[in-house]
Every structure is written in C-alpha cells, then in structure tokens.
Amino acid sequence: MNIYEIAELAGVSIATVSRVINDSPLVSEKTKLRVRRVMEENDYTPNVFARGLGLNSMKTIGLVCPDVADNYMARAVACLERDLREYGYNCILYCSGYAWEDRRIAVRTILQKRIDALVVIGSSYADDDPDAERVEYIREAAKQVPVFLINGYIRGENIFCALCSDYEAAYSAASELLRSGRRKILFLSDSHSYSANQKRSGYEAALREAGVPVREDLVIYTRNRIDSVRDLLLEMPQLDADAVFATEDGLAAGVLKYAKRRGAAVPKDLAIIGYNNSELAVCCDPELSSVDSRVDRLCKIVIDSLKLRLNGKPVNDRVYVKGCLIRRMTTDF
C-alpha cells in the first residue's frame, strides 16, 4: 500500500494525504478522520512519506560517501551539490569511511539532521544481494526519508538506485582483451564493493565464454595506489600476465609503472584497462584506456528522481546506464 493508493481510496490528492500526515491546519478535521481511517485500515506506515513532500522541510539533502578525497566521489558530490543548490536545497555532507559499522553510524547520524532525502554515493553501501540482511540499515533509513543510491542496488520501498552496468562494461572490456589474443588477464581490484564484484563477475563471464580458465593467481585485491601498486607487483616475480583489467584508474596507473620498471612494452606485452576515466588516465604516459563509469550521468538521474519523488510522483526504483570503454594508448584494439 502506498501514498497514491491511500489518496485514491480516501478520494483526496496525495498532497492532502501528506498534509494529514503532517497534521496541517489546511485540512478539515472531517477529511483528516477519513484519510486516517483509510491509512489504519490498510496498515499504512506514514513515516516513509511524511517528510518527502516538501512540507515541514528544512530544504536539506544528506549526502553520504566513504571518502570525498576519492576522485569519483568528489565528482559525484560536486555534481549533486550544484544541482541540488540550483533546486533550492542545501547539502549536509558526511564521509563515513569504508568500514561497515562506520557506514551504518553515518546513515543513522545524518538522519537526525531533518533531511528531506538521503543520497548514498558509492557501491560500498550496497551488497551483492539486493535483499541482504546487512543492508537493512538502508531500508530502515528509507522508512524515514527517500534514499537514493549512486551505483549500488538495494531492494526496498522508498529506495531508488542509479547504476552503471559494471558487469557489462567489465565483460565487454575483458572480451576485447581476449579477442586481441590475450589469455592471461589480471583482475586487479581495490574493493569488494557491489560494483567491484559486478566487475569481477563480468570479467569471469567473458573468460568462461572464451573457454579461458579463471585463475585465482590472476585475481589481486589491494588498497594501494600508483607507486605502491607498482611495488606490490614488482614483489611478485611469478606474476605472468599479458593484460590487466583494473577496477580503478589509480590501480591501472600503478600497473603502467610496473610495466615500465619491468621493461614490458605497453600494450604489446601488457595491455592495461583502467576504470572511471579520471584525470589520472590522461596524465599517464602512455595515456590509459579506461571505462567511463558515467558518474555525472548517474548524478543527473538521481537529481531527476529526487525532484519527482519530493513532488510525490512515482519514480523508477532502478535505472542502469551503460559504461563505455575510452580507448587510448594502453590497448591495441
């Protein structure tokens, strides 16, 4: 049962339902009684919608991300803040760090700030399973305000997700590497987030489809960046790869430095694909091929959904955007 059905059953507009929830003096006692009876009869919890309709609003949106110094998240925050400000909303920013408990605290804390909606940036807030118990805190939050996820999928009422199709992008990048003759493709990741897991699944699917075995020794996880990635790989003399698919440009930049130190020609001996198409990709020499994960587009979708939602209109609970490989000098196809 949602606010639209309540409105229909009670024979009033959704704005009136919202006003009843907020006990607005603009609604007659008679109407209030009727609407409340319909809500009770249908076991409708009004909290979910009480705030979302611009009544009693502080005109404030909560933004939560693990780390705004990360280029991807900085771009997202900049884009969201600018568009929300133009729309008359201020942003409260909370950077949670990556630990699960800290993410939970972040969401709980920011909800106390009388926000109209919550935007959660980065797939580390989601789980591979959209129904997982460990993301229950997001569903709890969505009982108070609409929640918008950038690049993660959590199933639940009042939760709206905009995602890059990382599985397809990774599948397609790995397939291209395979078509160009590579057989030993290293998967290099900085995270076990929803998005990173999607990328790994896409990579593995491409390998399986090409009849190439998925090798555990060609899957590496590290939180290092650039120089430290180079050093990490240099310390693995047994490493034998002819291509690298990295889930982030900072990793790929480190691979490039590793290749140079090892005297491996790029892309001939070692093809490299990064992810996010950041400024780092253009700074590298040779310039890095990288998957554009369309963060600006995801933000635009969230802004559009948020405007619809705050006006009481229906919103898709999930929108996918296609990532696309930007070919530069570290690939030869």
Q: Binding residues for its own copies, per CB under 8 A? A: 60, 63, 67-69, 71, 74-75, 77-79, 81-82, 85, 90-95, 109-110, 113, 225-227, 250, 253, 256-257, 260, 279-280, 282-285
Nearer to its own copies, 74 or 214 (CB): 74
DSSP three-state, residue 314: coil
User: Dihedral through CA 296, CA 302, CA 304, CA 308, nearest 10?
Assistant: 180
Q: Which residues of 94-117 are buried (b: 16+ CB within 10 A; e: fewer)?
A: bbbeeeeeebbebbeebbeeebbb
- As measured in angstroms, the least distance from the Cβ of 56 to its own copies is 17
Task: Give the span between the Cα atoms of 290 and 328, in whole angstroms.
Answer: 8
Nearer to its own copies, 92 or 210 (CB): 92
**Six token digits for residue 305:** 């959904």
Query: Is 315 within 8 Å of 309 (Cβ atoms)?
Result: yes
**In the bound complex, what is the minimum distance in angstroms from residue 229's beta carbon to its own copies?**
11
Query: Measured between alpha carbons, how far is residue 198 from residues 82, 127, 202, 259, 278 in Å?
Result: 29, 10, 6, 27, 20
Token couple for 187: 């998967």
Q: Are 14 and 108 in contact (CB under 8 A)?
A: no
Q: Cα separation of 53 and 58, whole Å? A: 12
Query: Considering the complex, what minimum distance in angstroms separates the CB of residue 190 from its own copies?
Result: 14
Closer Cβ to its own copies, 18 or 289, answer by number: 289
Q: Which is nearer to its own copies, 63 or 149 (CB)?
A: 63
Residue 279 beta carbon to its own copies: minimum distance, rounded to whole angstroms: 6
Amino acid at the residue 274: G
Residue closer to its own copies (CB basis): 24 or 222: 222
Nearer to its own copies, 282 or 308 (CB): 282
The minimum distance between CB 159 and its own copies, in angstroms, equals 23
Q: Shortest approach of its own copies to residue 88 CB, angstroms?
A: 10
**Residue among 131 and 227 whose Cβ is closer to its own copies:** 227
Task: Report yes or no: 106 and 96 within 8 Å, Cβ to Cβ.
Answer: yes
The single-letter DSSP state of residue 124 is G
CB of 74 to its own copies, least distance (A): 4
- Checking phi first, is residue 47 left (phi over 0); if not, alpha (psi -120 to 50) or beta? alpha
In the complex with its own copies, the residue whose CB is nearer, 134 or 260, is 260
Query: Minimum CB separation from its own copies for residue 61, in Å?
Result: 11
Distance CA 311, CA 133 (A): 30
